[in-house]
Amino acid sequence: KAGVTQTPRYLIKTRGQQVTLSCSPISGHRSVSWYQQTPGQGLQFLFEYFSETQRNKGNFPGRFSGRQFSNSRSEMNVSTLELGDSALYLCASSPLAGGTTDTQYFGPGTRLTVL
Amino acid sequence: KQEVTQIPAALSVPEGENLVLNCSFTDSAIYNLQWFRQDPGKGLTSLLLIQSSQREQTSGRLNASLDKSSGRSTLYIAASQPGDSATYLCASPAGQGGKLIFGQGTELSVKP
């Protein structure tokens, strides 16, 4: 099976712009989670989608949003970019309900740089 | 609220040495604990997942243990190799669903 794929792999944006990142989960996986990784804060949970519904949300401002499509692919959007949004954004998928008993599989990430 | 801690932040060992990485968590009502490996600038690779009903899991040279009563998990790496150099992260679910709480990671360097 193909792994979790994320596009694009690298992005450079300027402050105030918006950006959309895409994640394709492993075939058959219905849960998709997003994480932000920075050197100072480590890995922080953004949100999780399951069957096109947001099931969990982390402590991030409303500028961060996401959605999931009927084929389980997911996108996240960041509006009005700030310098502090520079990070590695990771997507993870899991087969069923996620979290309690399922292994999560991570994609390679999208490296976002905000200038 | 679950909190996950990993100490030390960095570890350097000579090739061939057996080593233990530590992970502590605050909520003993843990569903499971997962260990990941991350190479610089890359995504996470799942190594082992221990369910709350289990005490340990093994994969090749890796052995992970879980002690809920003490709030600790360890990852044992036998006969370390330079290719094991990476950051190792542990994570626990925050309740139901796909939200994982991660430790800050231990950066391992295995010297030839």
Q: What is the pLDDT of residues A28-50, one digit of tens each?
A: 898 999 999 999 899 999 999 99
Distances (CA, A) of B92 to A18, A52, B14, B72, B110: 32, 24, 30, 11, 26
Q: What chain A residue is nearest to B93 in terms of C-alpha separation?
A: A99
Q: What is the mean pLDDT of residues B21-30?
A: 92
Q: What whole-number distance in Å separates Cα of residue B102 and Cα of residue B89? A: 7
Q: What whole-number distance in Å separates Cα of residue B99 and Cα of residue A44? A: 9
Residue A98 above 60 pLDDT?
A: no
Cβ separation A45–B95 shorter than 8 A = no
Q: Give the model's confidence band at B29: pLDDT under 50 very low, under 70 low, under 90 confident, else very high.
A: confident
Q: What chain A residue is nearest to B104 in terms of C-alpha separation?
A: A42
Contacts of B92 in chain A (CB under 8 A): none
Contacts of B57 in chain A (CB under 8 A): none
Q: What is the pLDDT of residues B56-93, one digit of tens each?
A: 999 999 999 999 999 999 999 999 999 999 999 999 98
To test the contact with chain A by mutation, choose from B100, B102, B107 the residue with the greatest count of A C-beta atoms within 10 A, namely B100
Q: What chain A residue is nearest to B54 in terms of C-alpha separation?
A: A101
**pLDDT for res A100:** 58
- pLDDT above 70 covers a percentage of chain A that reads 95
Residue B48 above 90 pLDDT?
A: yes
Kindly state the DSSP code that residue A101 receives in the 8-state scheme: S
Cβ separation A42–B44 shorter than 8 A = no
**pLDDT for res A96:** 65
Q: What is the mean pLDDT of residues A92-110?
A: 80
Q: What is the pLDDT of residues A61-84, one digit of tens each?
A: 999 999 999 999 999 999 999 999
Q: What is the mean pLDDT of residues B47-58?
A: 93
> Picking from A12-21, A38-47, A60-69, B94-103, which range would have the lowest pLDDT averaged per residue?
B94-103
Contacts of A103 in chain B (CB under 8 A): 34, 46, 49
Mean pLDDT, chain A, whole residue set: 92
Residue A101 above 70 pLDDT?
A: no
Of the candidates B32, B42, B93, which has its C-beta nearest A108's C-beta? B42
